[in-house]
Chains A and B, each alone.
Chain A
Amino acid sequence: MTPSPLVEARDLVKEYGQVRALDGLNLRVNPGDVYGLLGPNGAGKTTTLRILSGLEVPTSGSARVAGFDPATQGVEVKRRIGYVAESAILYESLTPREYFEFVASTRQLNHDAVAYASSLAQAFDAEGASYDVPIGALSLGTKQKVAVIAALMHRPPLLLLDEPLNGLDAKSSKILKELMLIHVERKGAVIFSTHIMEVAESVCTRIGIINDGRLFAEGTMGELRSLSGTSGGSSLEDVFLKLTNEERFVEETLERLRSEGT
């Protein structure tokens, strides 16, 4: 029996004035999936995640997240997701402790969840003393850690992570990747966008390649390889460039730069 999907999007279209960011996107993510959303800059990855998290309304099309429509049932959706934005959206005048207190209170976390959140905070960093410093004064990476912890602390069924490894150090990146895997082992799901192909290759159970607002290739790594006609040993980067028709462009550009360099 096919499990009921945690995310199902149909014919999503999003227009910003004259610009069409999404052009009939379809998406289905089941419990247990780590779904990697890959695509060139401006392909529509962030817009997709923002629509799924209830922060934007599609121009047309529909979406269901954990059984709720993010466009009309935003609170219900937000209760069931953890969202990390491309650039951390935080109250910069609050300290991490105050911000976590605020997030935990709005989510009405119980004692166990607070203990889990404290463990997360400790796991991501335990050496200094900036837990009581305004977020605005923290480095980009530390801000990202705050955003990640705030998204994970209530152990939601669905994680929507937009470039979550931005600015994170190696240790924190490793912890986050492992947490994503633990999350899907517990029948949660993760959708995350990234430009780091190695990460997508090592973590994702399924990968969707998005370009010009459309999902034009989707599947496991093996399925994508066969779809692109690349060899078994090809990296995701090769597959991606092949599928987005950018392989030839990259080769020609590099050739020209080499000749200009000499």
Chain B
Amino acid sequence: MNRSEAWALSKLSYAELVYRPLLSTGLPIKYAGTKKSVHQALTGATLNKVIFAMFTMGGAVFPFLIYKLAIEAISLSVTTALSIILGFGYLVLYSVQVLPTFVTSGSFGPLAALPLEPRERSLVALMTLWRTLDYILVLSLATEFATVAYFTGSLAAASLVFVVSLSSSVLAVALAIRLIALFQNRLENTSTRGGKGLASIRGYFRPLLFVLWGLGVMSAVFLFSVISALAPPLNLVLTHPDTPLGVAASLIFPFSAGLLVSNFLGFGIGDLSLVLAGGGVCLVIFGAAAVSWGVPRVLDRIVVEPARRSQTGWARGADQYFFRVRGRLSAYVRKDLRVASRNPATGFLFALPLFEILAVVIPVTATSVVRVSALIVGSQVGGSFALFTAFLLVTVEDLGVERRTALPIAASVRTLSKVLVSTLTYLPVPIALSAILLFIKPPTFGGGIFIPVAAVATVFAACVIEVTVLNTLADWGRGTAVRFIAGVGSGELIMVIPSFAFTVEYVATHDRTGALLVLLGVSAVECLFSTLVLRTLRARGSNPRGEGLA
């Protein structure tokens, strides 16, 4: 088989990869039952890739904008490093979301049955992988190159960043595949050993995944806050290569790349840093090359060896078949938590409270006094985390089983379950902010303590609206990107309204207490409205017109 034949075969595998999950989610597509449906699915996948590529492009450019506009005191080394690491984070984030279908959807089943050499299968799988990530890789690497060339005027620096970003991208994809494989291996090992299931995922793995996702989410939502908080200490570390921390930072990727770029542009970084940074960059490039060499083998294993299936029976004594019956909502919440914790794409949800606290507390405590505006922004930030949680819970819920099952579950229960889980992830924010205001740094306005607390009602309402919009759009067969923009967007709108009302009232009257009362009133109205939405869903029952055609 030559490369063009492999390329043609990879087109089929890629189409399977895109189409199969769509079928299994039961989401209707406009031209279901016709060849156009495959075309539509592929167009939707391309749209998703382009939208996500825009995120990665933004991540590449944003640190340089801050650097150029001098919004924050940030060095070129740190700017370059942040730009690269954001691209890395986004790519891992996307790959962990998308690549599990490589393993689980059986897209390579037909390929595995063909009489192909392992090398040929690997080639097809590699090309399929490329088709899955093409827009994101090309656009992010081109943006990285163009950004560095534009902002530094150095072609050498841009070329260096391009090579380093390319290596970083390879490592990101490899890391994602590794993470997915860990989940998958755990599943297989558990089945063959008869263990306790994925609930007992090894302790070392879960924190890693959490950190990874947390970084991704933080960078996506709170780029500015994070950069403003991280830039000063990073600058300090990188400008002191004589300290142990400085030595380590110089060697560590992507700071090593950042230091080399600085050196290209004539910012003296010292001989020691130069050697360490050069070593660090070489290490990454060699590492990426080594990983590239190994990826085809991993892909071939995925293609050839479908998941091992347990052939064993169930249990021994009759009493071992016992299970508990809980309340409907309680059972649904437990199910949502279990499913989310065992999916590589949502496992990080359980670390969100930690990252929320960091993302909210760092900016709030960075100022000398806690202003009302900081509390409003902090609440918005925490609320955005909750909205993201709701989106993930709805989107990756075991390929949409709840939309295809014949269980008597009202749409209101399904919605409320996800809203409760999402709202729970917000609760650490008011707790952390209240603790800061009560014990560490009093606010400039005493009533400000009610702002993050009132936001609980707003977050609840925003999640109800978001989940309802997401479900409705799924009924209409809209793609993930459209659902994300409309669902999270509508939630964000609900989140913003009370703050907007507060601002308008304050600008008009300069009365903080009055503005706070308006904020509380608007939050209460939103909460009431969301309750009415839930009641409507309850009245609608599980009418398939409302549940989505499967």
Contact = CB atoms under 8 A, between A and B. Distances in A.
Q: Report if A and B associate in a common complex.
A: yes
Interface of A: 16-19, 50, 53-57, 70-76, 78-79, 81, 83, 85, 89-98, 100-110, 114, 117-119, 121-122, 125-134, 136-140, 142, 151, 160
Given A74-B542, A118-B318, A121-B321, A57 B549 contact: yes
Nearest to A51: B544
Interface stretch (B13-21, B189-197, B442-450): B189-197
Nearest to A50: B550
Interface residues of B, number: 63
Contact of B541 (A19, A73, A96): A73
Interface string B301-345: 000000111111111101011111111101110110011001100
Contacts of B343: 93
Contacts, number: 207
Interface string B400-413: 01001111111000
A70 B542 CA distance: 9
A75 B190 contact: no
Given A105-B331, A127-B313, A118 B322 contact: yes
29 contacts: A17-B30, A17-B36, A19-B33, A54-B406, A54-B544, A55-B550, A74-B408, A75-B409, A75-B410, A76-B541, A81-B406, A96-B314, A97-B323, A98-B335, A98-B338, A101-B325, A102-B335, A104-B323, A106-B408, A107-B408, A118-B323, A121-B314, A128-B314, A129-B312, A130-B310, A131-B321, A133-B310, A136-B104, A137-B187
Nearest to B320: A131
B33 A17 contact: yes
Given A57-B545, A128-B315, A83 B406 contact: yes
Nearest to B398: A91
A112 B174 CA distance: 51
A100 B322 CA distance: 9
A124 to B, nearest CB: 8
A104 B338 contact: no
Nearest to A104: B325
B543 A132 contact: no
A103 B325 CA distance: 9
Contact of A75 (B195, B339, B404, B542): B542
B334 to A, nearest CB: 8
Contacts of A71: 543-545
Contacts of A57: 544-545, 549
Given A129-B313, A137-B187, A137-B307, A107 B407 contact: yes
Q: Is the interface of B mostly helix, strand, loop or mixed?
A: loop
B509 interface: no
B155 interface: no
Given A121-B314, A128-B313, A131-B314, A109 B325 contact: yes
Nearest to A57: B544
Nearest to B332: A106
Nearest to A96: B314
Given A106-B331, A132-B195, 9 more contacts: A17-B33, A53-B406, A56-B550, A70-B544, A73-B543, A90-B401, A102-B334, A129-B316, A142-B313
Contacts of A133: 190-191, 194-195, 197, 310, 312
Nearest to A55: B550
A19 B32 CA distance: 9
Contacts of B404: 55, 85, 89
Interface in B402-452: 404-410
A56 B549 contact: yes
Interface in B73-126: 104
Given A54-B542, A79-B408, A93-B198, A142 B310 contact: yes
Nearest to B28: A16
A127 B406 CA distance: 29
B34 interface: yes
Contact of A128 (B194, B401, B542): B194
A79 B541 CA distance: 12
Nearest to A89: B404
A16 B198 CA distance: 38
Most interface-central of B34, B187, B325, B343 (chain A CB within 10 A): B325
